[in-house]
Amino acid sequence: MSSSSASSPLRHLLTLRSRIFQHTPPPPPHAPGGLRTGAKLLKRPLVGPSMLNYYPPSLRLRSLGLFENPGGEGERFFLQDAKEVQRLKDVERKKRLGKGPPKKGELRRAVRKAAGTDHDHETHNSLARTGQGRRAAMKGKKK
């Protein structure tokens, strides 16, 4: 078999494969080195218009006048979340009824007092002087 007859079935196979799998057809035998033509890339639709349509148009809040205080006193007016406003009203109402959250550290101190472990500085210092503090307990555990 000569090289031309051997390349003909191979060329036919490559052409069939390109039709089935939608590849670019193989370059003709006279093309130098079988350079890529870019035909597949050029057949695809452009991405730009669909990408621009993906995002909604941007809102210009300053042009809507939402950042200026309606009273005109020069203060900034920020958009408010209705749920957050309602939550703040509920917290304020509970505080007035005495059911609000405790002040920072208040709950912890109350729990210690109830357990009898809330020592003030004088008690702590007296325990340290008599050797009944933490160090004395650690001395008993030495090996």
| Domain regions of the chain by residue span | 80-112
d(CA 57, CA 115): 61
**3-state class of 76 per DSSP?**
strand
pLDDT band at 93 (very low <50, low <70, confident <90, very high): very high
Cα(34)–Cα(23) distance, integer angstroms:
14
Place of tokens 């650690």: 138
Q: Which two tokens stand for residue 126?
A: 């007296």
Q: How far apart are CA 66 and CA 76, in angstroms?
A: 9
The residues facing 76 across adjacent strands are 68
What whole-number percentage of the chain has pLDDT above 70? 55
What predicted TM-score, i.e. pTM, was given to this entire model? 0.27
